[in-house]
Structure 1
Amino acid sequence: MNTAVSVECVADAIDNEQALIVAFASQDGDMVDQHFGSAQAFYTWAVTADSAELIASRDFGYEKKDGNEDKLKPKMAWLVGADVVYCGSIGGSATRQLVTLGINPIKVKGGPDVEELVDSLQAQLASDAPEFWLANILKRKRSNGDDRFDLMEDEGWDD
């Protein structure tokens, strides 16, 4: 596993445009154990059916669970480029902001291990029938790829 790099936002760390970019709200990178808004850190992985690599992390320090919306801004700005973010819990405002950025928030209970979640994602990526939410993300990623102009031409777009 490579060491995560320090970047302005997740998009700056992406080498493989087809990889699923997954952020985990975690105190130490080992388990999802943080509420989104007060998360001390995020660890971001590039995941494919064949590989998984930690590509970026960012420490935000301790923040109170006080409903203060301002603490969301730096987190949202840093997560630009991610496809999914796993967290222990998340409020409605943060959920709406993530969805607007094209990031799918997933709430998990019990502090699951990051590596187990990565393994589960890899199994789904290798399958012919990933869960609905993941299939939608993969479809969106493919439509944003190099073939988007071919798709536009197929739909009748013209210069």
Structure 2
Amino acid sequence: MDTLGCVADAQIDDACLLVAFASMDGDMVDQHFGSAQAFYLYAISSDAANLLASQSFGVEKKDGNEDKLKPKLAWLAGADIVYCGSIGGSATRQLLALGVHPLKVKGGPDVKELIEELQLQLNGDKEAWLEKLLQRKSRASDEDRFAAMDDEGWDG
């Protein structure tokens, strides 16, 4: 497992989603976003899931202090999805502005079960939010590819 400056530093296949889980130990989603002590980052495709990195943060109070969000948001930049036990409106808006889709899950679900549920959707009928995310990711990938061709002087 690597140490990443931020999620965007992860080198992954375009077919993978970068998914972070707010978790104390990496086994279950048991943390509020703003006071999360750690995030575990996976590269998830329709048939594989690989733990890429984890990032620890200090113990934070659930006090509405927005400054504690900054290091978490900075590290999560580049993620596709973040699962958390709960999340406030401001953090939700800031994640969405970064292109990260926050998902609130109740009852401390097991990370492996959430990965399996996501893979089932990737292999079959996708919920609307996931379909939109995949379309956005595909468009961004196409734009990157065309920009690279343009930089190389590709002229068809």
TM-score by length of 1: 0.88
Question: Which of 90, 101, 105 is the equivalent residue of 2:98?
Answer: 101
Looking at structure 1, the residues matched to 130 and 11 of structure 2 have their Cα atoms a distance apart, in angstroms, of: 19
Deviation at 1:17, TM superposition (A): 2.4
Question: Which of 3, 6, 10 is the equivalent residue of 1:9?
Answer: 6
Matched, 1:123 2:120: yes
Secondary structure of the equivalent of 2:53? strand
Question: Which of 132, 136, 140 is the equivalent residue of 1:136?
Answer: 132
Q: Percent of aligned pairs with the same residue?
A: 64
1:148-159 equivalent positions in 2, closer than 5 A: 149=146
Compare 105-114 and 11-20 and name the one that shifted more: 11-20
The equivalent residue for 1:157 is none
Matched, 1:37 2:67: no
RMSD: 1.4
What is the aligned length? Answer: 146
Looking at structure 2, the residues matched to 12 and 149 of structure 1 have their Cα atoms a distance apart, in angstroms, of: 21
The equivalent residue for 1:63 is 60
Could you list the runs of 5+ residues in structure 2 that have no partner in the other structure?
148-156
Secondary structure of the equivalent of 2:141? coil
Amino acid at match of 2:57: F
Looking at structure 1, the residues matched to 63 and 27 of structure 2 have their Cα atoms a distance apart, in angstroms, of: 25
The equivalent residue for 2:150 is none
Matched, 1:83 2:80: yes
Amino acid at match of 1:144: A
Please tell me whether the aligned partners of residues 25 and 32 of structure 1 are also in contact (alpha carbons under 8 angstroms): yes
TM-score by length of 2: 0.90
Looking at structure 2, the residues matched to 45 and 16 of structure 1 have their Cα atoms a distance apart, in angstroms, of: 12
Please tell me whether the aligned partners of residues 18 and 142 of structure 1 are also in contact (alpha carbons under 8 angstroms): no
The equivalent residue for 1:145 is 141
Could you list the runs of 5+ residues in structure 1 that have no partner in the other structure?
151-159
Looking at structure 2, the residues matched to 14 and 84 of structure 1 have their Cα atoms a distance apart, in angstroms, of: 16
Deviation at 1:121, TM superposition (A): 0.5
